[in-house]
A and B are shown apart, each in its own frame.
Chain A
Amino acid sequence: MAQEDIELMSVSVDRTKPPLLSARNLHKSYGRVVAMNGADFDLYEGEILAVIGDNGAGKSSMIGALAGAVRPDSGKIVFDGKEVHFASPMEAREQGIETVFQGLALAPALTIVDNLFLGREYRQPGLRGTIFRALDRRRMRAEASKHLSDLGLATIQNIDQVVETLSGGQRQGVAVARACAFGSRVVILDEPTAALGVKESRKVLELIRDVRARGISIVLISHNMPLVFELADRVHVHRLGRRIAQVRPSDITMSDAVAIMTGAMEPPPDAAA
């Protein structure tokens, strides 16, 4: 890893400032199933926050609310000091919150370029763009190349390659590149290493560090404990629809974290949310 990256990473996160993205007392139920039961959330500028929790703990609903994919029944979300209400992922994205969903949200039969600009294509200037709705393909290709090489993904040589011919790790790379390509401030990664082999998981881990090095705050949802403990500055433990603890990886062992997550152990008093 190059020298400047390490320096950037070592810049400590300033937690005296208010959080960049926070949520208070979120509630959501689907019929009788309670997905969020007073969930709180805090993400500070420049940090990697891991969110862990058992299956069905309601992580996805909370993340969905932050990403604009789920509308909470009640509670409030504050982003950059202002209360926000996202009606769609597009609205969250416009504010600078990008999400890489577990399904990756890529269109399999389209090329890498098409996917990077999906939903926010550039049109050609003048009549060709306004009347004939022609895409500015040259500009999109140029920018796509730039974004990919910025993230060290330049080895994906052919940006006109169809996404479904890429390996799982490469697809993850495209999805992440898309998430940070448009001036985003928060990137939410949902299970970025699920379905990946050890080697490819490693690549993704490095990719996440690169993204953070560019000053983007990261929310990482994962079941992959070694990954979480290696990457995260803080860990948000979710249980039964709410946050029950916030811990630092340095202060706690992996097995204790899992025990808290599953309810086998009470969270340490100073960590209780």
Chain B
Amino acid sequence: MADEIEFPGAATGRSALSRRILNHLHANPTIIPLFVLVIGLIIFSFVVGERFFHPFNLSLVLQQVTIIGTVALAQTLIILTAGIDLSVGAIMILSSVAMGKLAVTLGYPPEIALLLGIGVGGLCGWFNGIFVTYIRLPPFIVTLGTWSVFSAMVQYFSNGETIAQRDIEAGAEFLQWSGEAMKFGAARVTTGSIMMLMLAGFLWYMLNRTAFGRHIYAVGGDQEAARLSGINTKRVLMSVYLIAGLICGFAGWLMIGRIGAVSPLGGEMTNLDSITAVVIGGTSLFGGRGSIIGTLIGALIVGFFRNGLALAGLDVLWQEFTVGLLIITAVSFDQWLRRISN
């Protein structure tokens, strides 16, 4: 046998302890957002008082982050591949309009309308994927374009008209099912929130326990390296955009449940809000690093901070201000982690 070959640690002379901490942060990037969430909860419990920790309020925040959370799950997959999707909100609205239009206006059974609506989301994602993967355009540009295209489709199909709650209740009540709340004492947990958590569990499994998931990370970390490792990077990218589209379509359904109506307005900032949750959750905008759990925590951080600051009587502009600071902090941390590891 050869001599024991001993590779020295990186020649920077960093102490073993800081190296261990660094490794931990690399392996568990969710520690930081989790920490921020806990600190936030503690602070708000002091500032706001019992109203904040009231089960009704806690479950309310969960409801409020359900849609952004779901879209952020899709956004996480895309960002893990070093991409970005600006069209997520438009896909979501387009899907919900398709569901409402099919079920209410055209009289399809709501279950079929739901499936077709999610299919519309998948189609949009597929469309994005084709341009990113095969025509090799930057995802930012592609989805900047499709954002407009899908928004225009929304206006075309909806004529800018909202489908009111009473019309949905009159025959397509199933579309509102995701808004139904289960009572646990004062808490109200909607089926939509539970479905979001289940979806997150599924995606976590996919990313961490299947080869496909590992390949998503590899493609995002270094696409050329992944290709040379024998990964079919095109198929991975296509699948990611397709799955993201389907998830956004699903979010369209949750949207109907949440507001009780189908509104062609809205969704304009969903892309940025979802990116916010992803970034605060510790996923790197440069791809290859991040996690589903982090994104959930990121969405919860935004939700709890907005809610807490509102309950504390702070003006909406301070809510924006705080979320902005959180983003910058999260990205600085990611950058710092990258820099010291190179």
Contacts and interface: CB of A to CB of B under 8 A. Distances in A.
A and B touch in the complex (CB under 8 A): yes
Interface string A133-167: 11101000000000000011111101011101111
B221 A108 contact: yes
B23 A203 contact: no
Contacts of B226: 105, 107, 118-119
B333 interface: no
B268 to A, nearest CB: 32
Contacts of A90: 230
Given A89-B230, A118-B214, A155 B221 contact: no
Interface string B186-223: 00000000000000000001000111101101101110
Interface residues of B, number: 40
A1 B26 CA distance: 36
B188 to A, nearest CB: 33
A135 B209 CA distance: 6
Interface in A95-129: 99, 101, 103-111, 114, 118-121, 123
A69 B26 contact: no
B211 A110 contact: no
Contacts of B3: 1-2, 152, 206
Given A105-B228, A110-B217, A5 B342 contact: no
Contact of B5 (A69, A134, A203): A203
Q: In the complex, which of the residues A103, A107, A120, A135 has the most CB atoms of chain B within 10 Å of its own CB atom?
A: A107
A199 B10 CA distance: 12
Interface in B34-72: none
A164 B11 contact: no
B134 interface: no
Nearest to A137: B209
Given A118-B218, A121-B211, A167 B2 contact: no
Contact of B11 (A109, A197, A203): A197
A5 B2 CA distance: 7
B5 A107 contact: no
B310 interface: no
Contact of A162 (B23, B205, B211, B224): B23
Contacts of A267: none
Interface residues of A, number: 56
Contacts, number: 141
A200 interface: yes
A109 B221 contact: yes
Interface in A29-77: 69
A93 interface: yes
B112 interface: no
A107 B217 contact: yes
B325 interface: no
A2 B288 CA distance: 41
B27 interface: yes
Nearest to B284: A109
Binding site secondary structure of chain A: loop
Contact of B209 (A1, A134, A203): A134
B293 to A, nearest CB: 15
Contacts of B225: 101, 103-107
Q: In the complex, which of the residues A99, A169, A173 has the most CB atoms of chain B within 10 Å of its own CB atom?
A: A169
Q: In the complex, which of the residues B5, B22, B23 has the most CB atoms of chain A within 10 Å of its own CB atom?
A: B5
A137 B22 CA distance: 24
A103 B222 contact: yes
A84 interface: no
A253 interface: no
A162 B26 contact: yes
A99 B230 CA distance: 11
A69 B228 contact: yes
A224 interface: no
A253 to B, nearest CB: 30
B7 interface: yes
Contacts of B289: 109
B4 interface: yes
A190 B226 CA distance: 17
A25 interface: no
Nearest to A164: B341
A210 interface: yes
Interface in A168-183: 169-170, 173
Given A103-B222, A119-B230, A164 B26 contact: yes
Nearest to A134: B209
Contact of A155 (B4, B10, B211): B4
Given A134-B209, A169-B7, A197-B11, A110 B2 contact: no
Interface string B224-237: 11111111000000
Contacts of A151: 5
6 contacts: A89-B230, A103-B224, A107-B225, A108-B222, A199-B8, A209-B2
Given A108-B288, A121-B214, 19 more contacts: A2-B3, A103-B222, A103-B228, A105-B225, A108-B221, A109-B288, A110-B217, A118-B218, A152-B2, A152-B3, A162-B27, A164-B26, A164-B341, A169-B7, A173-B7, A200-B8, A203-B6, A206-B2, A213-B2
